[in-house]
Amino acid sequence: MAADEEQNVGEVTALFEQTSVRKENIISFKGQGKKLDTADDAAEIIQAIEESKDVQVLELVGNTVGVDAAKAVANALRNKPELQRCLWADMFTGRLRSEIPISLRSLGDAIITSKARLVELDLSDNAFGPDCAKACVELLKSPSAFTLQILKFNNNGLGGGGIILAQTLIECYEKSSAEGKPLKLKVFVAGRNRLENPGAKALAKAFKTIGTLEEIQLPQNGIQHAGITALADAVKHSPSLRHLNLNDNTFTDKGAISMAESMKHIDSLEIVNFGDCLVRTNGAKAIGKSLEDSNPNLKELLLSFGEIQLEGGIAICTGLENKEFLQKLDLNGNKFGEEGVDEVKDRVNDFCCKNALTSLDDDEGIDSDSDEENSCGEDDNDGRSTEDEQIDSQLSNGQVDLNPKCFLEQVTAPSLVCLSTKERSNLLEEVAELVTNAEATADACLKLSGLLNEKCLHHITTCTDSDAQELRSAVFQGVDILLSDAFQKYPNTPMLVINPFLVRMGLLKSEDKKFHAPFDIRPMVVTLGHACQQAYFPTFTRRLVRGVVAKESKVWNNKSIHLRSQLLQILYL
């Protein structure tokens, strides 16, 4: 080979070496089930970190790390600025909720000290709650988080912690922008967290502020139409959004129409999951219309079990018929009827991708009042929805009394649910002002908890029935307002607030000798289980409640014994 040719080959080889992608240096103990209580228990992990010249990924998924072990691991990370990905899902199984924040702060402080620049942080499947979310704040607003692209808090029981995370992300964006390198978060995952409307609204504000999200996953969070509308605004301001998963929340046509309106302002969507969201017929029609002229690269659209009738299904088909990249269309479990199912299948035959439609075997058939549903609220000049008209009808019939002095005496489950979140909030805040003592607060909370039906009482933290979840959310909203106000009235003696509640459950002795505990205390157990996980519920009060619940009592009968176990698990976290 000539000298010139040899030189050229050498130059090309050197160029390839410079531009080749270097593999990440991964330290992984994934799924090993290690129980790490002490520094000695963590010795193998610590040694691996210390001996690594440039550890970029630390994967501790599927182990359980205690406070001392976490501090020891953190100490080893203090001089590892190369760290980019912390894969720490399912890392605190069996740990007390009071311990987890300490561990998180230790690890976070170590990352900040090392001046690492994180790309991914995954803390999914850990029993967090608001306190643990607070423990992540310093890390998430530090320069180490300015480079974050992927953030996962899936199945953490965040509750009000979602608001804390949202506020922290906004602060991170503002600080990073001030340095000329704004946060460019791409992926945010936080399913199964009881975020509800307040958390959804707070996160929507953060997403809109950041503006770079490519993937948003918030399934199973009890979000209703007000929260969905806020998220729709965030979608509108996320021009690169590819994957949107809001499965198993409650859109109704209000939320679905808002989302449809926002979707037509971007062209980046590839995967949209609105399954089990009750988008209903009007919502489906709006989504179909929106997709006719937007998002040409759509690959998947999931709208299963949404109470969509044939007119809505046809609108979806019309909106998708020219989507050449479509791979999956899920319309199962809606209300097309036998002939309607055949019509939808025929319409899909006109698609560019004929094989996209999934099974329609679980179609629920046509409702007898389908014509009424389709005709109501569609063409109102003032833009009012069917839900608004139902509320007006109930108000005029005296089914919803907005007088706070007599509301609790007359409230029913349907009348509570039909109020908007804002209406309930305003009304119950007025009720809270009228409540003069802790006993009255307990009675008000028990009145609300008594509205929970059988479908609401199978589990404290989860509810698979959408209507039952809507009722639970409404009841919990009222209880949160009442108890939060009560704890503020008794800042130094919070047990004065909770003792009457426990007395009415039969867990503490009543001074009234004629008092008898109710046979079925499940509604109160579910309500207490929700309340004790909220930020307003003092930590040491939870410990005292735990001691009461742990004592044997005849009130724990066959109907409630399984909920007692769930409540104790929550109180021990």
Which 3 state secondary structure label does DSSP give 9?
helix
Tell me the average pLDDT across 365-387: 45
Q: Please state the pTM of the whole predicted model.
A: 0.65
Tell me the average pLDDT across 317-329: 94
User: Cα torsion at 157, 245, 229, 357 (round to 10°)?
Assistant: -140
Encode burial over 106-142: b for 16+ CB neighbours within 10 A, e otherwise. bbbbbbbbbebbbbbbbbbbbbbbbbbbbbbbbbbbb
pLDDT band at 267 (very low <50, low <70, confident <90, very high): very high
Residue 46 has pLDDT above 90, yes or no: yes
| Tokens (6 digits) for 147 | 């480079």
pLDDT of residue 128: 80
> From CA 218, how far away is CA 117, in angstroms rounded?
26
Q: How far is CA 336 from CA 251, 305, 314, 351, 495, in A?
A: 20, 11, 10, 19, 54
pLDDT band at 380 (very low <50, low <70, confident <90, very high): very low
Residue of 147, 128, 259 lying closest to 200 (CA atoms): 259
Q: What is the mean pLDDT of the chain?
A: 87
Burial level of 206, CB count in 10 A (0-12/13-18/19+)? buried
Residue 478 has pLDDT above 70, yes or no: yes
Burial level of 544, CB count in 10 A (0-12/13-18/19+)? middle
Cα 251 to chain center, whole Å? 14
> From CA 245, how far away is CA 220, in angstroms rounded?
10
pLDDT of residue 258: 97
Residue 381 has pLDDT above 90, yes or no: no
Cα 303 to chain center, whole Å? 19
pLDDT band at 17 (very low <50, low <70, confident <90, very high): very low
Longest dimension (CA), the chain: 108
Q: 504-518: per-residue pLDDT in tens? A: 888 888 877 667 777
Q: 161-207: per-residue pLDDT in tens? A: 899 999 999 999 999 999 999 999 999 999 988 899 999 999 999 99
The answer to whether residues 305 and 275 touch, using CB atoms and an 8 Å cutoff, is: yes
Task: Look up residue 210 and give its amino acid.
Answer: I
> From CA 96, how far away is CA 98, in angstroms rounded?
5
> From CA 168, how far away is CA 188, in angstroms rounded?
14
Burial level of 244, CB count in 10 A (0-12/13-18/19+)? buried
Residue of 103, 127, 186 lying closest to 151 (CA atoms): 186
> From CA 152, how far away is CA 452, in angstroms rounded?
32
Q: 394-429: per-residue pLDDT in tens? A: 433 434 445 677 778 778 888 888 787 887 888 888
Domains and CATH numbers, the chain: 224-375 (3.80.10.10), 383-572 (1.25.40.200)
Q: 242-258: per-residue pLDDT in tens? A: 999 999 999 999 999 99
Length of the chain: 573
